[in-house]
Amino acid sequence: METYGSPLYVYSRTDIENNWREFDQAFDTHPHLICYAVKANSNLAVLNVLSKIGSGFDIVSIGELERVLFAGASASRCVFSGVAKTKAEIKRALEVGIFCFNVESMAEMNRIEQVAKDMGIQAPISLRVNPNVDAKTHPYISTGLKENKFGVDIDAAVPIYQMAHDSAYLTVKGLACHIGSQLIEVSPFLDALDKVLELVDKLNKINIHIAHLDLGGGVGIKYDNEQTIDINAYIVSILDKVGDLKIILEPGRAVVGNAGVFVTKVEFLKQNSGKSFAIIDGAMNDLLRPVFYQAYHQVLPVNENAKGTDAHWDLVGPICETSDFLAKNRKLCLSEGDYLALMSAGAYGFSMSSNYNSRPRVAEVMVSGNQHTLVRERESIQDLFNKEYMIND
């Protein structure tokens, strides 16, 4: 903290690599590609480290595509998801030769076909189907139910595949689904898999052959005491069902979530009508998950021998909103000036941060063995005004 200041995100390179390899190695020789979901943490160093060990990437915007390419990865290992790909995004993705588009609607398929036609080439596509299963996770991160905006109703998929198959500008590659995030049970994944395999059979019968199945991301991590998914057992149960079909997975959180912490400093301790508040220098703009999803992040003192006042503390930030908290009612022994680590913050931490209250976004550091490297500078005040203009009169 003396070197980099506070607040700060810190990631472990070894943990990121080991987490990714756990997915990769469980497949052994079965054809597969582990496409890390860039949205979870899109720092260039994270992408570069993963690219070096052979990761593919799940991207959802041209920004993510350019990051992945800049980090040294090959477009041929990228799948492009997301419900509203623009013409410019589709064109760029085709120019650089991405592996596959995960198409989310008939209208989007028509757009991709048109762009491919204008370029005189064929676009590789999978249809993302919505298998209508309950992922049993927080409603904001559940995507596989009928009422969600994602994918095409699985019962409506056959005619869309037929159209893609008949098109001179589309190549049918695969079938995709993603039912939600932070799943802590395998059964919804396997229910979805059974449904997509039925569709694969139906398509085979009309001579449309799928070369890969993309089962999305969603494997949950331990934030507190919850039991979560055994990755190896999950993959073994996939392999039991899929014959020799190539499998793509898009894990984000499970790769980076528990490989990162958010470090923040206690500025003041304060009592208000019997409640104990620790006012910290980190805030909801830096780590949005607690207020947005009522998410729990464990809080640990950075210095294990810290002395101070024992109490049940609410950790609140400097932002002018009652919802600006990172943790509530945590039994800790605190003094002003202490550093605290919010655990499991490597996924959807920095990537969801903002400049709300004109707060510069924090620095990011990667640790590898006993080395530590700054992988994103803390924003300066000047950075906050960049690209803004006053009216001249």
Distance CA 224, CA 329 (A): 14
Residues 6 or more apart in contact with residue 153 via CB below 8 angstroms: 129, 130, 132, 146
**346, 261 in Cβ contact below 8 A?**
yes
3-class SS at 91?
Answer: helix
Stretch that binds ligand LLP, among 18-26, 186-194, 211-219, 354-362 (CB under 6 A): 211-219
Q: Does position 126 bind ligand LLP by CB under 6 A?
A: no
Annotated active-site residue in 35, 78, 100, 320: 320
Instruction: Sketch the per residue contact string, 354 through 393, with ligand LLP: x for CB under 6 A, - otherwise.
Output: ----------------------------------------
Please state the closest distance from residue 138 (CB atom) to ligand LLP, in A.
7
Q: Does position 253 bind ligand LLP by CB under 6 A?
A: yes
For CA atoms 347, 352, 357, 358, give the dihedral sign. Answer: positive
Please state the closest distance from residue 326 (CB atom) to ligand LLP, in A.
14
Instruction: Sketch the per residue contact string, 182 through 201, with ligand LLP: x for CB under 6 A, - otherwise.
Output: x-------------------
Query: In sequence order, what are the beta bridge partners of 311?
Result: 332
Q: Which residues of 302-318 are buried (b: 16+ CB within 10 A; e: fewer)?
A: eeeebebeebebbbbbb
Residues 6 or more apart in contact with residue 156 via CB below 8 angstroms: none
Please state the closest distance from residue 248 (CB atom) to ligand LLP, in A.
10
Nearer to ligand LLP, 279 or 352 (CB): 352
Q: Does position 73 bind ligand LLP by CB under 6 A?
A: no
Q: What are the helix (H) ranges across 268-342?
A: 289-293
Please list every residue from 143 through 172 that binds ligand LLP, using CB under 6 A: none
Bond from prior residue into 7 cis (ω within 30 degrees of 0): yes
Chain position whose Cβ is nearest to ligand LLP: 217
Please state the closest distance from residue 181 (CB atom) to ligand LLP, in A.
3
Residue carrying the six token digits 């959180």: 253
Q: How many residues bind ligand LLP (CB under 6 A)?
A: 22
Region for residue 203 given its phi and psi (left: phi exceeds 0; alpha: psi -120 to 50; beta: otherwise): alpha
Please state the closest distance from residue 288 (CB atom) to ligand LLP, in A.
8
Among 178, 212, 359, 361, binds ligand LLP (CB under 6 A): 178
**335, 311 in Cβ contact below 8 A?**
no
**260, 349 in Cβ contact below 8 A?**
yes
To 10 degrees, the CA torsion angle through 362, 311, 321, 9?
10
- 100 flagged as catalytic: no
Q: Which residues of 238-257 are buried (b: 16+ CB within 10 A; e: fewer)?
A: bbeebeebbbbbbbbbbbbb
Please state the closest distance from residue 257 (CB atom) to ligand LLP, in A.
8
Instruction: Sketch the per residue contact string, 31 through 70, with ligand LLP: x for CB under 6 A, - otherwise.
Output: ------x--x-----------------x------------
Stretch that binds ligand LLP, among 42-50, 178-186, 300-308, 378-386 (CB under 6 A): 178-186
Q: Does position 289 bind ligand LLP by CB under 6 A?
A: yes
Nearer to ligand LLP, 231 or 334 (CB): 231
Please state the closest distance from residue 321 (CB atom) to ligand LLP, in A.
19
For the annotated catalytic residues, the residue numbers are 320
Which residues of the chain form contacts with ligand LLP (CB under 6 A)? 37, 40, 58, 81, 141, 178, 181-182, 216-219, 250-254, 289, 293, 347-348, 352
